[in-house]
Amino acid sequence: MMIEMQKQKLHAEICERIYQTLYNGIRNVKSEEPRTWLKERGLSCEVTGAGFSSGQITHRKTKEYLKEVESVGFIRANNIVCKNGDTGYLTFARFGVVFPLRDGKGRVVNFYGIRFKLEKEEHSFMNDQGIYPAFPHEMTTQLFITTSIMDAASMIEAKVLDNRDAVICIPDGKILPQHEEAIKRLTQLNSIVWIESPKINATQGLQGRIMPKGYVTKTKKKP
Amino acid sequence: MNESINQLRKIARNIPVRKVTLPDKENLNHVFLREGSIGIQKVLDSASEVTEELVEVESTPIPFTPKEPLPEENVVLLDKKPEVNHSLVEDDFAKGERQFTERIKKRNPEEDEVFDPENPKLEIIHEHKQVMRTPMNYYYVLGTVVQDMGSMRITLMVEELATGRRERTKIDLYERDQVVLYAQQIGELFSQDEQQIEADLLLLTDLLEKHREEELEQAKASNQNKRHQSVLTAEKQNACVQFLSGKNLMKGIDELIEQAGVVGEESTRRLLFVIASTYKMNTPLHALVQGTSGSGKSHLINSIGQCFPPEDVISMTRVTSKSFYHYTKDELVDKLLLIQDYDGLDEEAQFAFRELQSAGNISSSTTYKDRYGNLMSAVKTVRSHFASLLATTKAEVYYDNMSRSLISGVDESDEQTRRIITHQNKNLAGLIDHKKEHQAKEFLQNCMRCIRPYQVVNTYADKVYLPFEAKMLRRLNSHYQAFVKQITILHQYQRKKDDQGRLIAEPEDLKIACEIMFDAIMLKVDDLDSSLRQFYDLMKRHIKKLCATAKPNEFQFTQRDVRLALNVSKTQCFRYFEELELLEYIQRTGGYANRGFKYKIVFWDDMEKIREKIKGELNQQLEAVVHGGSIGMEHQDPQLSGE
């Protein structure tokens, strides 16, 4: 049991660190595209907490760090070898906007990525933990439940929530243990609004390499 | 999805669950982008209660097999049942929409009118509040927009429609950076598209600019065309000319004035009318009406004023000390001025007024700042050419003022009081036809519009001399001559013209002038002013009655005797006595301060006699004029004739 908890803590710590990188990343000068993408949808990273996974998280990092990140499932080693001879990595939601999912203690434990540069937007979760945007406060009286992350983000952005209102996202309406736990915590709850939108069928885990449009892979043979 | 909801209901016991289903291929983000927060609020409002256990209905429509004939309503109801779930989505939306519009209406019940969200326009709520409505926000502009074309500083209030939240700020819409920054701020606060808000603000700028220019144009137009000449129809003009060329014109005018609502005061009203009618002639005259307070001076003046074209009449109740200097150059030209309370004017204003009356213009040298901030001096001149009717309560007006105007008193007798009371009562009883009153006024106005200024030749001017007893004879004489001229001008449709187009006065004019002006002349002759003269005459009559047996010269009386008999207030009576004592008409003979003094009359002047004498003399002169002869000046001079 203790080991399990420690494991969780470690997982959350690493995710938190990754999220910090991603969150800083979207505000970088070079991250013009994800910012415009968000703006086109009327969202802002400050309110929704969106980050940007540029695929460069492995760049110039220590092996220990990469190991940690890999243990969480954010990157996966590839058989492609880089210029400098290092191993290449596949990154979760490469060149995509990333939303953090949090656990009951408010720690980031999971990510939801939207790769917008592909021909068809690819939605995926890193794992099956956490709730977007967070576990609702215990004193919440009215709970809005959306079935997609973008809906939840739009609701936050629209500022339609009153005091003691909260929104959570139950992806595609599949109630998972963490959702059950979150709702059970709410003692003051007196109303639930279920907002249903079309299913998205997001995948889970790090997918294979799908390159963005017009991206040409440059592989180098081993010297 | 219904399974999930059922599961949810199990988790959260006894908590009502409402549900919204968005239409196909639509998510909240699309709604948000299209309609903003309002859209999302609409969707949330359209959520409907899920009460029963949800069963998938779509796939299993209930087959309807009637076993027995049902009432019609039921059939319809049952028939429709399977469709309910199909149309759920649309119904929810419609409901949400309705609730939303109701909410908006509740907030702004008075703003029911439909507005076109595509073309917002500036609506003016009142002078200091304008609004531009867009589908998302209302933009209010509070206060007035600065008239300086170089800036557009306004107080802006943005109201978000969905929440009713209001943001206020002062902003210069011509400052591009400021506008962009503000649009960003508002966008963040209301979570709306900042570019849209910026576009709205730019539109608002355009609209305000247009509005401001329109206002300026209007102001310009109203400034330029201040003096408008009303044009008479040929019909009306003919009627007026016919009236003006009729016999007994002065009598006709007098009747019309009476119809217009002036009761009694026969001689005064004619005098005032003629004086007022000089306003656009060569020599305008001025009248000063004296009377105690509440005797109807202002009423008289106003009634006469209403008989003149309203575009030419300026009525002033109060004049500040320097305001005469700041009229535009020709604002006081060809005008009739009514001042209801001449004592109310302070020294400086009276001085300016006197100058306007006699000099025809006043100029003041003042400093002003030019546009570079340098102090410059300039002389500002106001031209004047007007007739005036003034009312005052003060018995002794400043001597300078008196000389410039003809002085006339208000009839303060009991008869007049009775006449006024009858008129008032008739008015209240609804016996007076106000339409007729109005018609009379309008007819007189039209007549005045028909009268044109002419030069007048008075060949008899040297044949008539005013009594030498009168004070300030120089001015009075010129007043009299001007008055004769005016009478001729009023008769302009009956008089002959010479080769130069000048009107020729006839002896009749002199006679009429003398008749009308006689009271005014007498007031100038008299030592006492109008109201004091009336009081003194009454007092003498009363004393004579009291001392039927004794000698009137030695009869002593107190103030109380007179006060009670003549029904005068204590203060008024005291004042009259004081003045009479000063002028040595009465003398204090005994008594004590605490028990009242006794008085006797020492000077039994006989104004009636003097009146008759002067009248006789004037008539004699006039008769001579009519018959072609003349009585020279030397016959009139009391010093020469040894009287």
DSSP, res B146? P
**B138 with B119: CB under 8 angstroms?**
no
CB contact set of B414 (below 8 Å; sequence gap of 6+):
none
**Optimal mutation site among B27, B37, B50, interface A, most CBs of chain A within 10 A:** B27
Of B295, B517, B523, B576, the C-alpha closest to B402 is B523
CA distances from residue B523 to B109, B468, B620 in whole angstroms, order as listed: 68, 13, 21
B487 within some domain = no
Give me the amino acid identity at B576. Y
Determine the pLDDT at residue A33.
Answer: 92
CB contact set of B281 (below 8 Å; sequence gap of 6+):
B453, B485, B486, B489
- Indicate which CATH number applies to the domain containing B583: 1.10.10.10
Kindly list the residues from chain B whose CB atom is less than 8 angstroms away from the CB atom of residue A191. 15-16, 18
DSSP, res B139? E
A94 within some domain = yes
Look-up: residue for tokens 């009775």? Answer: B418
A223 within some domain = no
Determine the pLDDT at residue B635.
Answer: 45
Q: How does pLDDT run across B251-309, given as a tens digit for each residue?
A: 888 888 888 888 888 888 888 998 998 888 888 888 888 887 778 888 888 888 988 88
Q: How does pLDDT run across B365-402, given as a tens digit for each residue?
A: 988 888 888 898 988 888 888 999 988 887 566 667 77
B134 within some domain = yes
Q: How does pLDDT run across B20-61, given as a tens digit for each residue?
A: 888 888 888 888 888 888 888 888 888 888 765 544 444 344
Tell which of B107, B131, B163 closes a domain: B107
CB atoms B22 and A173 under 8 Å: no
Number of separate domains in chain B: 4
pLDDT at B69 over 80: no
Distance CA B538, CA B16 (A): 98
Q: Is B137 on the interface with A (CB under 8 A)?
A: no
**B142 with B155: CB under 8 angstroms?**
yes
Tell which of B452, B477, B502 closes a domain: B452
Interface of A with B (CB under 8 A): 41-43, 47, 144-148, 150-151, 153-155, 157-160, 170, 173-175, 180, 183-184, 186, 189-198
Tokens of B48: 């409907």
The model's confidence at residue B409, banded by pLDDT at 50, 70 and 90, is confident
**B339 with B345: CB under 8 angstroms?**
yes
Question: Looking at A105-119, B222-236, B401-415, which range is the least confident one?
Answer: B222-236
Kindly list the residues from chain B whose CB atom is less than 8 angstroms away from the CB atom of residue A196. 1, 19-22
Q: Quick one: B64 and B210 in the same domain?
A: no
Q: Quick one: B543 and B396 in the same domain?
A: no
Nearest CB among A154, A174, A195 relative to B20 is that of A195
A92 within some domain = yes
**B468 with B482: CB under 8 angstroms?**
no
Q: How does pLDDT run across B96-138, given as a tens digit for each residue?
A: 556 555 555 555 544 444 556 667 788 888 888 989 888 888 8
Q: Region of A92 please: left (phi>0), alpha (psi -120 to 50) or beta.
A: beta
Q: Is B88 on the interface with A (CB under 8 A)?
A: no
pLDDT at A167 over 90: yes
A117 within some domain = yes
Q: What is the mean pLDDT of chain A?
A: 87
The model's confidence at residue B633, banded by pLDDT at 50, 70 and 90, is very low
Give the rounded percent of residues in chain A with a pLDDT score beyond 70: 92
pLDDT at B491 over 50: yes
A101 within some domain = yes
Cα of B98 to nearest chain A Cα, Å: 18
Tokens of B171: 């902003």
Determine the pLDDT at residue A57.
Answer: 87
Tokens of A204: 């889970």
B472 within some domain = no
Distance CA B26, CA B485 (A): 93
A129 within some domain = yes
Q: Quick one: B93 and B156 in the same domain?
A: no
pLDDT (mean) for B418-437: 86
**A92 with A111: CB under 8 angstroms?**
yes
Helices B249-259 & B266-276, crossing angle to 10 degrees?
100
Cα of B35 to nearest chain A Cα, Å: 10
Determine the pLDDT at residue B630.
Answer: 46
pLDDT at A34 over 90: yes
Kindly list the residues from chain B whose CB atom is less than 8 angstroms away from the CB atom of residue A183. 8, 11-12
Query: Hey, what's the torsion of the CAs at B3, B7, B9, B11, to 10 degrees?
Result: -170
Kindly list the residues from chain B whose CB atom is less than 8 angstroms away from the CB atom of residue A136. none
CB atoms B191 and A158 under 8 Å: yes
B464 within some domain = no
Q: Quick one: B135 and B15 in the same domain?
A: no
Tell which of B191, B222, B253 closes a domain: B222
Distance CA A192, CA A143 (A): 5
Q: Quick one: B175 and B307 in the same domain?
A: no
Q: Quick one: B241 and B218 in the same domain?
A: no
Determine the pLDDT at residue A136.
Answer: 92
DSSP, res A136? P
Determine the pLDDT at residue A50.
Answer: 94
Distance CA B142, CA B127 (A): 9
Determine the pLDDT at residue B179.
Answer: 92
pLDDT (mean) for B506-516: 84
Distance CA A81, CA A220 (A): 7
pLDDT at A15 over 90: yes
Tell me, rounded to whole angstroms, the distance of Cα B327 from its chain centroid: 18
CB atoms B28 and A155 under 8 Å: yes
pLDDT at A170 over 50: yes
Q: Which residues pair with B373 in a beta bridge?
A: none
Sign of CA dihedral A83, A84, A88, A94: negative
Distance CA B151, CA B209 (A): 10
Q: Quick one: B218 and B238 in the same domain?
A: no
Determine the pLDDT at residue B397.
Answer: 60
Kindly list the residues from chain A whose CB atom is less than 8 angstroms away from the CB atom of residue B1. 147, 173, 196
Q: Are strands B456-457 and B503-504 parallel, antiparallel or unpaired?
A: parallel
Alpha helices in B163-294 (DSSP H): 176-190, 194-224, 234-244, 249-259, 266-276
Determine the pLDDT at residue B266.
Answer: 80
Cα of A195 to nearest chain B Cα, Å: 5
Kindly list the residues from chain B whose CB atom is less than 8 angstroms away from the CB atom of residue A154. 27-29, 31-32, 40
Distance CA B129, CA B142 (A): 5
Residue A161, domain extent:
2-204
B112 within some domain = no
Distance CA B444, CA A1 (A): 112
For B632, list phi and psi in degrees, rounded to 5: -70, 170
CB atoms A158 and B190 under 8 Å: no
A67 within some domain = yes
DSSP string, B260-296: TT--S-HHHHHHHHHHHGGGGSSS--EEEEE--TTSS
Q: What is the mean pLDDT of chain B?
A: 80
Distance CA A25, CA A55 (A): 10
Question: Looking at A79-88, B312-321, B620-629, B631-640, which range is the least confident one?
Answer: B631-640
CB contact set of A219 (below 8 Å; sequence gap of 6+):
A80
Residue B562, domain extent:
530-604
For B556-560, which contacts have Cβ atoms below 8 Å and span 24 or more sequence positions? B556/B589, B556/B590, B556/B598, B556/B599, B556/B600, B557/B598, B557/B599, B557/B600, B558/B591, B558/B596, B558/B597, B558/B598, B558/B599, B559/B596, B559/B597, B559/B599, B560/B596
pLDDT at A26 over 60: yes
**B577 with B597: CB under 8 angstroms?**
no
Q: Quick one: B22 and B65 in the same domain?
A: yes
Of B345, B343, B338, the C-alpha closest to B323 is B345
The model's confidence at residue B509, banded by pLDDT at 50, 70 and 90, is confident
B457 within some domain = no
**Optimal mutation site among A192, A199, A200, A201, interface B, most CBs of chain B within 10 A:** A192
Biggest CA-to-CA distance, chain A: 67
Question: Looking at A129-138, B196-205, B625-634, which range is the least confident one?
Answer: B625-634
**B68 with B75: CB under 8 angstroms?**
no
For A118, list phi and psi in degrees, rounded to 5: -80, 170
B643 within some domain = no
B275 within some domain = yes
Q: Quick one: B95 and B141 in the same domain?
A: no
The model's confidence at residue B612, banded by pLDDT at 50, 70 and 90, is confident
Tokens of B607: 């104004």
For B305, list phi and psi in degrees, rounded to 5: -60, -35
pLDDT at A98 over 90: yes
A57 within some domain = yes
Number of separate domains in chain A: 1
- Indicate which CATH number applies to the domain containing A89: 3.90.980.10
Nearest CB among A41, A154, A198 relative to B24 is that of A198
Determine the pLDDT at residue A214.
Answer: 60
